[in-house]
Structure 1
């Protein structure tokens, strides 16, 4: 058993009963090929929660600072996480993300770039639109619906893959593609909250 599967089992055993996690829509998740998974961001626990509820292993883009923490810098790479510099265009992170998708893996992104202070969906960053337009990966919206309080139900909803072929064909801007994806995350939040 690889480290990712082992960690998923351990974390799942702790978080699923603690937050009574309910998962909706995993049947929409493509079984193979590149997937750009885009979720709202309300807690530091979002990456492990998405990691244990998604049907496939996820490669997360994680803020560079986490790779300076002694324990995390050892744990994150075998969990398929790679660093991104925040607040600037990080070409290496963009290349790594494109490679993940082109190799047929799942790239997990929180388009807001940082946690929402009030739980409401913030404006998404253009990077997510860049990935959506530059690859033929399936784009799957995901809504995490809190609160993160012990024994209160937490819901993770996976939406149907979005059709962004029209945006790709007319060479839409990354900002426009991001807005399109964010609207679908918001629609999931509205429907399941």
Structure 2
């Protein structure tokens, strides 16, 4: 068992012990090939939750400050994370993400860029749309429906892949593409909140 799989197992056991995790739509994640999971962001546990219950390894952008902490500096890269400087265009982070996708791997993005303070979905940043348009990756919208309260239900929903062929052909802007992604995440939240 590699360190990533070990981390997955630890995360899964922890989350399943303290929350009633319900995972919906795992079949929407391709078994192979470039894939982008785009999810809302409500808690620090969102990154491990998003990757804990699926087979494939998930790569993340994580804020640069985390890589400056002694233990995390060595551990995070082994767990599939790579640094991004927030608040600016980080060309190295963009190159790393593009390389991961070009190699047929999967990345997880939180298009809002930061955690929601009130749990409500806010406007997405252009980055998610940029990667969706500039690659042939399958884009899967995801929703985490909380709140994170001990021993209470917590839903993780993987939606149907979004068809970006029309947007790519029409040379849509990154902002337009992100708006489409956020609309799909919103639909997942509304649908599954109603079914709670």
CA deviation vs aligned residue, 1:160-182 (integer Å, no higher than 9, x gap): 11001100001100000000000
Match of 1:4 in 2: 4
CA–CA separation in structure 2 for the residues paired with 1:153 and 1:117: 20
**What is the correspondence of 1:1-193 to structure 2 with a 5 Å cutoff?**
1-193=1-193
Helix, strand or coil at the partner of 1:119 = coil
Helix, strand or coil at the partner of 1:139 = strand
CA deviation vs aligned residue, 1:139-158 (integer Å, no higher than 9, x gap): 00000000111100100000
CA–CA separation in structure 2 for the residues paired with 1:74 and 1:51: 20
* CA apart distance, 1:127: 0.7
Helix, strand or coil at the partner of 1:21 = strand
- The answer to whether the 8 Å contact 1:29/1:55 transfers is no
* CA apart distance, 1:55: 3.2
Structure 1 length normalisation: TM-score?
0.98
- The answer to whether the 8 Å contact 1:157/1:188 transfers is yes
Structure 1: runs of 5+ lacking an equivalent: none
CA deviation vs aligned residue, 1:99-123 (integer Å, no higher than 9, x gap): 1111110110000000001111111
Helix, strand or coil at the partner of 2:97 = helix
CA deviation vs aligned residue, 1:44-70 (integer Å, no higher than 9, x gap): 100011110233110001111111122
CA–CA separation in structure 1 for the residues paired with 2:136 and 2:170: 15
Helix, strand or coil at the partner of 1:76 = helix
Across the aligned residues of Structure 1 and Structure 2, the Cα RMSD in angstroms comes to: 0.8
